[in-house]
Amino acid sequence: MSSSRKLQVSSPVPADIDIANSVEPLHIAEIAHDLNLSPLHYDLYGKYKAKVLLSAFDELQGQEDGYYVVVGGITPTPLGEGKSTTTVGLCQALGAYLDKKVVTCLRQPSQGPTFGIKGGAAGGGYSQVIPMDEFNLHLTGDIHAITASNNLLAAAIDTRIFHEASQSDKALFNRLCPPNKEGKRSFSDIMFRRLTKLGIEKTSPEELTPEEVKSFARLDIDPASITWRRVMDVNDRFLRKITIGQGPEEKGMTRETGFDISVASEIMAVLALTTSLGDMRERLGKMVIGNSKAGDPITADDLGVGGALTVLMKDAINPTLMQTLEGTPVLVHAGPFANIAHGNSSIVADKIALKLVGPGGFVVTEAGFGSDIGTEKFMNIKCRYSGLTPQCAVVVATVRALKMHGGGPDVVAGRPLDRAYVSENVSLVEAGCVNLAKHISNTKAYGVNVVVAVNMFATDTEAELNAVRKFSMDAGAFDAVICSHHAHAGKGAVDLGIAVEKACQNITQPLRFLYPLDISIKDKIEAIAKSYGASGVEYSDQAEKQIEMYTQQGFSNLPICMSKTQYSFSHDASKKGAPTGFVLPIRDVRGSIGAGFIYPLVGTMSTMPGLPTRPCFYEIDIDTVTGKVRGLS
């Protein structure tokens, strides 16, 4: 690609933020020009970011798609195995060294991990998205828009309960449909959605019977059934469980609730899975916040707020264009976590990118955590809604993680690595390759070619790396490649780029889903559990009750999004390797009906992370002379 450039690298590799600050980004208009993206189809956000408008896709609809590649990984250590880094490095290799048209599609990182334990998600070393500080912080405000719209809906829920508790049916109706200056009442447009749901075909408020007035105006929300929580994009454990309504003017109407992190909001999942502005409007309106006391689902449109949510999200639907260190284009859009949501960037970004690169080009997108989580949801949820078919799946592995799966000591964030991880131990690596083999076989089952990317660390030995490569090929990988993109930028992933191109060109099978949609919720859960290695599934009484409710409400045809630890194929993070014979416990089952999936909670998964004793924010500061950010990782 013409605006791409090849970096001069240093050894040892400097800190991520130092590398990011050492490279002057190209003006984003140059990146757009390389993609043949007209200025009519993007809005500039400063010099280095732009919002790509959905009109770009409309103009390119006749264009053939490029190759579609998803990057997953093996079961990671708490330190991460460089999946984002590999995704960026692969794209730098394809664009800057192999002269291919390429777009990287990544999730927007949450500020929770950025200031917490994990740090940012821009990649690392010489394979990063820049400006790194802008990528990891506010970007173009999408997560703030999600936070605002989520909390508007939360406010609407509790306010509606409050007003219904203190007013008669007639008073409530009169306030919902107030007379104009001429004394005539009318329904707002959004109210017709509720009237249609109730089977009421009348168009004037004066025509409703007293019974119809009551069913229209009184939602009668059961407070115990409310699943919608407030959100903020900060790790704050003390907001996990709170009581609202304690002010004197709320008249004793307290309710126990809590906060989730913003990226766990269903609105984030809606953004990631939507296909157009119209589709997003429908999905936001269909979001179910709880039930009436009669057991009927209550939606955002029932509350009259679906249109307002869409207005708050109207700019967020447009992906953000950025660049890698080597000048290849990146689309950043949506950021659902993979362990508590579906963990993939947006459908609209992928669709726009596939048209922009065209035939022979590459779109490389990342799926969160191991392939049992991110890649499984990519295939069974994202690809179902997008209609897109990947040709190749990359599985990122490290010697470090394989040693852990082979029986090595615990890897703990913030503590020095045990000697086992920095000295040669081929037998430990080989023992851990059972985890890699399971990820290869699970991913191959979807009908894609699997390429293993071994992300090389400085302490890895040739014998260890060769053992991983041999085991990968024996386990059925299309190819397995040693990569050094962290230290050598795109040049260190050229062999990976060549392998991925061959894998895409040699695809012979159609995409195969893990389960059909027309089977029961339990059958779908059990199909996924079996892919983990489970011998069965155990449901709590609460889970049984929720499954029965969602089935009765007509939601049993939705795909499943498992909320599960990322540190094991099982529910128990301490079970490494490829455990089998375990019974998977389903604690609860919830629905993201607007986004379009049912999510079972496996074990105890928190939707609001906490901060450690020494969070990342200790290192973060600003140079008050240059304005440069320091200490981001």
Q: Name the strand (E) or helix (H) holding 590.
A: strand 583-592
- Please give the Cα distance from 50 to 47 (Å, whole number): 8
Burial class (CB in 10 A: 0-12, 13-18, 19+), 530: middle
Q: Where are the domains of the chain?
A: 16-140+315-506, 143-312, 524-601
Asked if omega into 131 is within 30° of 0 (cis), the reply is yes
Per-residue pLDDT reduced to its tens digit, 341-377 = 899 999 999 999 999 999 999 999 999 889 999 999 9
- Please give the Cα distance from 203 to 222 (Å, whole number): 28
Give the model's pLDDT for residue 631.
Answer: 84
Burial class (CB in 10 A: 0-12, 13-18, 19+), 311: exposed
Model confidence at 2, in pLDDT bands (50, 70, 90)? low
The token pair that represents 452 in the structure block: 């293993």
- Please give the Cα distance from 203 to 200 (Å, whole number): 9
Contact (CB, 8 A) for 52 and 526: no
Contact (CB, 8 A) for 148 and 231: no
Whether 160 shows a pLDDT value over 70: the answer reads: yes
Per-residue pLDDT reduced to its tens digit, 526-553 = 999 999 999 999 999 999 999 999 999 9
Burial class (CB in 10 A: 0-12, 13-18, 19+), 417: middle
Residue type, 581: G
What SS3 string covers 540-558? CHHHHHHHHHHHHCCCCCC
Half-sphere exposure of 210 (CA within 13 A, CB side): 2
Give the model's pLDDT for residue 26.
Answer: 96
Contact (CB, 8 A) for 454 and 464: no
Burial class (CB in 10 A: 0-12, 13-18, 19+), 471: buried
Per-residue pLDDT reduced to its tens digit, 184-205 = 999 999 999 999 999 999 999 9
Contact (CB, 8 A) for 102 and 87: no
Q: Residue for token digits 């999510």?
A: 599
Q: Residue for token digits 């500061």?
A: 621
Bin 327: left if φ > 0, else alpha if -120 < ψ < 50, else beta. Answer: left
- Homologous superfamily assigned to 16-140+315-506: P-loop containing nucleotide triphosphate hydrolases (3.40.50.300)
- Domain 524-601 part of CATH 3.10.410.10: yes
How large is the average pLDDT for residues 479-506?
Answer: 97
Q: Across the strands, what pairs with 43? A: 51
The token pair that represents 213 in the structure block: 């007035």
Asked if omega into 12 is within 30° of 0 (cis), the reply is yes
Model confidence at 629, in pLDDT bands (50, 70, 90)? confident
How large is the average pLDDT for residues 506-515?
Answer: 93
Phi, psi of 139 (to 5 degrees): 50, -120
For 143-312, CATH number?
Answer: 3.30.1510.10
Q: Residue 379 gets which letter from DSSP?
A: I
Q: Name the strand (E) or helix (H) holding 599.
A: strand 597-602
- β-bridge pairing 255-257 and 297-299: unpaired
Contact (CB, 8 A) for 525 and 515: no
Contact (CB, 8 A) for 377 and 344: yes
Model confidence at 1, in pLDDT bands (50, 70, 90)? low
Between the ranges 109-113, 117-121, 228-232, where is the mean pLDDT highest? 228-232
- Pick the closest to residue 364 from 24, 67, 620, 107 (CA basis): 67
On the question of a common fold for 143-312 and 524-601, the answer reads no
- Please give the Cα distance from 62 to 79 (Å, whole number): 43
Per-residue pLDDT reduced to its tens digit, 205-216 = 999 999 999 999
- Please give the Cα distance from 158 to 162 (Å, whole number): 6
- Distance spanning both ends of the chain, measured CA to CA: 28
Exposed e or buried b for every residue in 70-82, given b needs 16+ CB within 10 A? bbbbbbbbbbbbb
Residue type, 82: G
